[in-house]
């Protein structure tokens, strides 16, 4: 996006322009409070406003979060890295949002990202203006504040679910940054016994088509997609439970409900759900790039809220990609159901259709490729799936860490059975990379009137850095007969 001046930000604030929700925050000097640009309160005078590109920066400057517009539920700022420092800052931010610094050190996070701790600190401070520790603290406070507002959970459970190591530390940090204790910050309104979080996005948002995409690929036993709701069994960091996602009434938001078993992993789970449903996308910025192309432009105009479906479990998405090689979507879905039933663990779900959790990479690698063949797989592909599981289990292929697209594709295609199409599809779904482009995809080829992969790649240069969104538009237009 083009860098905005403070005067332009003030104009967006005065107009309560939803396109800039989460892109910047405004601190009001006379109240000491910072808000989203869509806050319903009276717009303050220009001289009283200070603008920040993140909640963490506003908090560093001494401002407290508004209780009306609730900055903690704002969509995340969209990122389109243009160099290595940007990419590192984006990768670190993503992992911190998942709780990477809750129980680990910056040195451990840096090792995961393949750099030194100094590089991580320099990247976040240069690009975001705050340190990794400040980012982590802001993320913990945001989740804690949301849980206080939206659930009836006890303060102790909220402290640990938000990533704090102790209730004493939680109380001290919360009081220092918010200006009151957690118990005083909790609204009086009765929320019952539910554990449901509001996840805001920037409209427009095509929920119906995104749900349709997931419905056609839902794994039997693991996922259930209803008319207006998505449910699934989740296994993350040794915890297994269920989640449900549905649209919020009269809001630009989805509602995430989770079972109690998942509360200890709520921070990484919430981050993954945001990615899966592409809630941090900036539709206006994407459309501005894609509408330059005649074919894509028509598709964007017809479906302005189309999003890029991600994945909660990256390994699951990787297996689905390989199961889908040279077979129909329906056939891949059947194979995925058999795969989950054979190698996953049984789960007593809230409904009979939720009966298994998907296996981990280590579990799949432990069974051997000969058992994979028995679900109806060719031996060569079973060997490739077994090799993929081993590469993920031993860290040879990282699926949980953002990285440059070319680097990931180069690593993935070193594995047997993983070609450029599979690697780019994985980047789209598992890494949620906005610029992946499976040029050899049959749907892309058909939509582009038989263009060769080389010709498709040449044409797609104009769609950067949003080629993944262009692919989703091409697939959707093709499936709907445009």
Query: Which amino acids are annotated catalytic?
Result: 35, 441
CB-CB contact of 392 with 402 (8 Å) = no
> Which residue reads 């969209």 in tokens?
78
**Is the C-alpha dihedral spanning 341, 346, 352, 353 positive or negative?**
negative
Identify the CA nearest to 115 among candidates 82, 83, 84.
84
Within 10 Å of residue 391's Cβ, how many Cβ atoms? 22
Residue 124 CA, chain-centre distance (Å), reads 19
Rounded Cα–Cα distance for residues 438 and 436 (Å): 7
- Cβ neighbors of 329 (< 8 A, separation 6 or more) are 216, 217
Rounded Cα–Cα distance for residues 455 and 471 (Å): 15
Strand 223-225 versus strand 230-236 pairing type: antiparallel
> Which residue reads 């129980």 in tokens?
103
Q: Where are the beta strands (DSSP E) in 118-214?
A: 196-200
Identify the CA nearest to 179 among candidates 73, 97, 59, 28.
59
Rounded Cα–Cα distance for residues 313 and 316 (Å): 5
What is the DSSP secondary structure assignment for residue 482, as one 8-state letter? -
Rounded Cα–Cα distance for residues 314 and 399 (Å): 6
Rounded Cα–Cα distance for residues 235 and 292 (Å): 42
């Amino acid at each position: 996006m083009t860098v905005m001046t403070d005067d332009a930000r003030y104009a967006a604030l005065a107009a309560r322009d939803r396109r800039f929700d989460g892109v910047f925050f405004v601190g009001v000097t006379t109240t000491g409070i910072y808000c989203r640009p869509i806050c319903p309160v009276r717009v303050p005078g220009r001289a009283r406003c200070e603008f920040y590109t993140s909640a963490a920066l506003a908090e560093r400057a001494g401002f407290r979060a508004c209780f009306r517009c609730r900055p903690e539920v704002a969509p995340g700022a969209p990122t389109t890295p243009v160099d290595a420092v940007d990419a590192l800052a984006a990768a670190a931010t993503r992992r911190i949002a998942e709780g990477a610094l809750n129980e680990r050190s910056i040195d451990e996070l840096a090792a995961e990202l393949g750099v030194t701790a100094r590089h991580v600190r320099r990247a976040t401070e240069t690009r975001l203006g705050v340190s990794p520790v400040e980012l982590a603290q802001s993320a913990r406070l945001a989740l804690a504040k949301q849980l206080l507002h939206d659930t009836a959970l006890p303060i102790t459970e909220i402290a640990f679910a938000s990533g704090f190591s102790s209730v004493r530390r939680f109380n001290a940090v919360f009081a220092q940054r918010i200006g009151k204790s957690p118990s005083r910050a909790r609204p009086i309104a009765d929320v019952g016994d539910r554990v449901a979080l509001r996840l805001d996005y920037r409209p427009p948002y095509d929920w119906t088509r995104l749900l349709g995409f997931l419905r056609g690929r839902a794994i039997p036993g693991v996922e259930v997609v209803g008319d207006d709701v998505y449910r699934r069994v989740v296994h993350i960091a040794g915890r297994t439970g269920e989640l449900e996602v549905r649209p919020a009434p009269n809001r630009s938001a989805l509602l995430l409900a989770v079972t109690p078993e998942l509360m200890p992993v709520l921070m990484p789970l919430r981050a993954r759900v945001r990615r899966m449903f592409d809630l941090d996308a900036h539709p206006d910025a994407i459309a501005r790039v894609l509408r330059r192309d005649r074919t894509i432009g028509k598709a964007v105009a017809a479906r302005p809220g189309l999003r890029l479906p991600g994945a909660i479990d990256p390994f699951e998405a990787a297996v689905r990609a390989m199961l889908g090689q040279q077979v129909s979507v329906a056939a891949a879905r059947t194979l995925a159901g058999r795969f989950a039933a054979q190698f996953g663990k049984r789960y007593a779900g809230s409904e009979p259709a939720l009966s298994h959790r998907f296996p981990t990479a280590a579990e799949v690698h432990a069974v051997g490729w000969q058992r994979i063949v028995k679900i109806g797989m060719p031996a060569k592909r079973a060997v490739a799936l077994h090799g993929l599981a081993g590469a993920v289990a031993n860290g040879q292929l990282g699926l949980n860490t953002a990285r440059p697209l070319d680097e990931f594709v180069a690593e993935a295609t070193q594995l047997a059975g993983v070609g450029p199409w599979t690697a780019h599809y994985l980047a789209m779904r598992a890494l949620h990379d906005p610029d992946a482009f499976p040029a050899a995809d049959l749907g892309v080829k058909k939509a582009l009137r038989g263009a060769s992969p080389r010709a498709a790649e040449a044409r797609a240069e104009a769609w950067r850095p949003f080629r993944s969104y262009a692919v989703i538009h091409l697939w959707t237009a093709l499936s709907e007969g445009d």
